[in-house]
Amino acid sequence: MSLSRTAATALLNKVQRGLSPLELVYVPHDKWPRPAVAAQPARPLQISILDSSFNPPTLAHLALATAPESIAAADAHLYLLSVRNADKALKPSDASYLQRLEMMLLLARPHRAAVAIIDEPTFAGKSRVLHDAFPGTAVTFLLGFDTLGRVLAPRYYGGEAPMAAALDALFSPAHDNARVVCARRGDVSEEILARAERFMADGRIVLIDIGAAEQTYSSTAAREAIAKGNDGWKQLVTPDVADYITNEKLYVNQAPVD
C-alpha cells in the first residue's frame, strides 16, 4: 500500500476535523492486523504500538520498536502519531504532520509496521479508540521515558483519583488489558518510578534497555544539531530519514539552543 501526499493530506484533514478518530495511513498487507499467512491465534491479537511525536523519528525510536521485549509476543506492529498531543503544540520550526508521516513511513516499511494517525491526546483515550477500531485485540504501548512521565502525571487527568481510575481501566485485564514497554534512561526520575511501581509489579509497565548509545538519542538533539549546522545529527537517524530531512530542509530555521 503506497500513499500519495494528496491522499495522506486528506486523511490528516479527516482526523483533524473530527470526522474520524483514527485513520490507517499504511499497512504492510491487506489482512493487517491479522497475520498475513498464518492462522489467527486463539488468544486476542497483540499489537505493539510505537507512540511518539516523530519530530523526527530517530534510531532510539527504531531500537525501542524492534527490541526483543517489544516484538516477542506481538502479532502486529503500529507506529502511531497523535495530531492532538496532550502538551506539545506544533511550532513553526517543527516538521508538519504530513512530513512526520512521510518519515514514519520510511522507518516503518522495512519492518512491516503499519502507520496511523489518531485524534486523541491521552493513552486511556487512545486505548479506547484502538479497541473500537480493532476489537478483540490487546495493545502494548512502546514509549520513551518522558512520555511515561506524562502517562503517570495527575495533571492530565484532573487529579489523583481520576488518574487512578483511568490507569486501573487501562491496565486491568478485565478492561483495556494494555501494557507499556518503556525505554530506560540514565537520568531516571524517582517520582515517575514511584508512580509506576505497582504497575511494574504486575508486569503492566516494563522498563527495557535499548542500548547505551541509543538511550542518549532524542528528536530534540537531532533538531538542535541541525539548527547548529552540526552534521552529527545524521548519526541519530536512519539514512533514509537523513536524506528526507536534507531534501525537505527541515529544522534549519529552528533557533539553536545555547
Angstrom CA distances, 137 to 75, 128, 153, stand at 10, 11, 26
Sign of CA dihedral 1, 67, 33, 179: negative
pLDDT at 258 over 50: no
Q: Using CA atoms, how far apart are residues 13 and 84, in angstroms rounded to an integer?
A: 13
pLDDT, residue 84, reads 78
Amino acid occupying residue 116: A
Model-wide pTM > 0.85: yes
pLDDT per residue as tens digits for the range 1-33: 467 899 999 999 999 999 999 999 999 999 999
pLDDT at 67 over 60: yes
Mean per-residue pLDDT over the chain, rounded:
91
- The H or E element that residue 145 is part of is helix 145-151
Q: What share of the chain is helix, strand, coil (3-state, %, to 5)?
A: 45, 15, 40
Q: What angle do CA 200, 207, 224 make, to 5 degrees?
A: 135
What integer is the mean pLDDT of 126-151?
Answer: 94
In this prediction, residue 104 has a pLDDT band, given cuts at 50, 70 and 90, of very high
Q: Which residue has the higher pLDDT, 252 or 41?
A: 252
What integer is the mean pLDDT of 128-156?
Answer: 93
pLDDT, residue 42, reads 79
Q: Which CATH architecture has domain 5-31+42-212?
A: 3-Layer(aba) Sandwich (3.40)
HSE (side-chain half, CA atoms, 13 Å) at 181 = 23
Q: Which residue has the higher pLDDT, 35 or 247?
A: 247
